[in-house]
Amino acid sequence: MPDTLATDEAPITSEIGLDPEDWEELRRLGHRMLDDAFAYLENVRERPVWQPVPEAVKRELALPLPLDPTSPDAVYEDFKRQVLPYPTGNIHPRFWGWVMGTGTPLAMLADMLASAMNPHVAGYDQSAAVVETQVLSWLAEMLGFPATVGGVLTSSGTVANLIGLAVARNSLAGFDVRADGVQPRADRRPELIVYTSTETHSWVQKAVELMGLGHRSLRRVRVDARFRMDLAALARAIADDRARGARPLCVVATAGTVNTGAVDDLPAIAALCREQALWFHVDGAFGSLAALSARHRDLVRGQELADSIAFDLHKWLYMPFEAGCVLVRDRAAHQRVFALTPSYLSPHGRGIAAAPLEFAASGLDLSRGFKALKLWFSIRAYGSKKLGAVIAQNIDQARYLEALIESEPQLELLAPGELNVVCFRFNPGGRDGVWLDRINEEVLLRLQETGEAVPSGTRIRDSFVLRVAITNHRSRREDFCFLVERVLHHAAAATI
């Protein structure tokens, strides 16, 4: 045992707990925290988007294991100084890096109430399970699925996608994956193949590796000029695999690719999957939610045909982390993958464990928190129309930014815009690719390090680009004007 742990332990003379001795004192601190949190969010625009954690603060944070109590007030003072000023920045109006949601003050409050109730949401006869069921049926309706689908809230899009793919594998493998696994066996089972495009997010590789399929069984189909899966190439890959005795399992399409926001031809892929008896999975991590906007719904038309779909509420529904979701059309197939009922989890027909544990049977987690509450509050308080209007605003902002870029001769767009992602770079002409990559990466880092704005970087057709993914309800048009002005400023300064 480490010698930093206590070696003495006073005999307990009266029993102890972790509730405050003085509730009034904690109540005062709690109210102060809440007021400070509101001010923090209300004034977010006044602060830099991001600043690094200073080395001195990192040293202060590296505390030895505390053995004795510190007053909550003192811990809170340290939090305000050492922790609060140094977030990733995604709550700021000018944060558009990777794909991160902004969060809302209302959902923050709902998270606090969820913690106060602290229910265990594996299922059980309790309000939290009823609320999660209700939220799942609203989410299904938003995306055009029938209320009969199976589903579960997850920690992330990665996990939601993994669950969808696991259901695909177990449903169509042609053998009992739960009993036999996917180990090579003497009876030489066919290799199971998953198809997706070269633009699909890296979760898909993690998933096939974790599911024991190995990434050699992942076919990365090339994309067309709009970064959508090339369907002729997909059909050829499936035919080739069948011809050599492998078993095509599933096509993973994307509604909103991470690099450019491209949407695969979902109706055509659905038709191909039907014809070929393949599972149709859609990764709609952020793009799926475009269905909430009446004006933009058509962009993701066809996602409602999926056998399973994964999406994140902590991206384009602006929820605080974490909240992902997977929906599976065949609820029984979904639960066949995860349901397991040892005696200590058996239902009794009555009481708290009246029925089998619905959510534990829909994913990996047994212990689960009350993520559904922030969604229940938000969907009720804003209404799906307002949420759709903010999503539409983000798409309009992306087109606005593209227009600004097109009006600047030294900037160029590198990908066609569909949803809410804009990829561009500084290109004054007459410079080679190496120079352009270097200057654009430098511009990106200067934007981030000055705390002015946070795009992220990626490579499009082998060129480094600045990538702006707008899942931010706080951004306004002037923020994009400012971005363009600062890009030109930093590019000029870095060129000298």
153-161, 186-194, 367-375, 385-393 -> range binding ligand PLP (CB under 6 A): 153-161
- Tell me whether residue 119 or residue 284 sits nearer to ligand PLP (CB atom): 284
Q: Which of 153, 213, 285, 390 binds ligand PLP (CB under 6 A)?
A: 285
239-247, 251-259, 349-357, 440-448 -> range binding ligand PLP (CB under 6 A): 251-259
Residue 455 in contact with residue 403, Cβ under 8 Å?
Answer: no
Residue 82 in contact with residue 63, Cβ under 8 Å?
Answer: no
**405 binds ligand PLP, rule: CB under 6 A:** no
**Is-cis flag, bond preceding 322, omega within 30?**
yes
Residue 213 in contact with residue 247, Cβ under 8 Å?
Answer: no
- Tell me whether residue 129 or residue 168 sits nearer to ligand PLP (CB atom): 168
- Tell me whether residue 90 or residue 293 sits nearer to ligand PLP (CB atom): 90
- Tell me whether residue 14 or residue 202 sits nearer to ligand PLP (CB atom): 202
Residue 286 in contact with residue 311, Cβ under 8 Å?
Answer: yes
Convert residues 301-340 into a mask of x (bound to ligand PLP by CB under 6 A) and - (unbound). Answer: -----------x-----------x----------------
**164 binds ligand PLP, rule: CB under 6 A:** no
Which residues are within 8 A (CB) of 91 and not within 5 positions of it... i.e. 6 or more apart?
A: 41, 44, 102, 103, 474
**157 binds ligand PLP, rule: CB under 6 A:** yes
**199 binds ligand PLP, rule: CB under 6 A:** no
- Tell me whether residue 289 or residue 453 sits nearer to ligand PLP (CB atom): 289
**139 binds ligand PLP, rule: CB under 6 A:** no
**158 binds ligand PLP, rule: CB under 6 A:** yes
User: Please, where are the H alpha helices in 221-302?
Assistant: 231-243, 266-276
Kindly report the length of the chain: 496
Indicate the pairing of strand 247-254 with strand 192-197.
parallel
Give dist(CA 439, CA 427) in Å, integer.
9
**103 binds ligand PLP, rule: CB under 6 A:** no
- Tell me whether residue 324 or residue 457 sits nearer to ligand PLP (CB atom): 324
**261 binds ligand PLP, rule: CB under 6 A:** no
Instruction: Give residue number: closest CB to ligand PLP.
Output: 157
- Give CA separation, 201 vs 209, 281, 305, in Å: 14, 14, 21
Give dist(CA 21, CA 187) in Å, integer.
66
- Tell me whether residue 326 or residue 379 sits nearer to ligand PLP (CB atom): 326
Q: Which of 92, 94, 201, 334 binds ligand PLP (CB under 6 A)?
A: 201
Indicate the pairing of strand 192-197 with strand 218-221.
parallel
Residue with tokens 């993520």: 371
The SS3 assignment for 404 reads helix
Query: How many residues belong to the site for ligand PLP (CB under 6 A)?
Result: 16
**156 binds ligand PLP, rule: CB under 6 A:** yes
**258 binds ligand PLP, rule: CB under 6 A:** yes
Provide, for the chain, the percentages of residues in helix, strand and coil under a 3-state DSSP scheme, each rounded to the nearest 5.
45, 15, 40
Amino acid identity, position 472: N
User: Which residues in this chain contact ligand PLP in the complex, by CB under 6 A?
Assistant: 98-99, 156-158, 201, 203, 254, 256-258, 283, 285-286, 312, 324
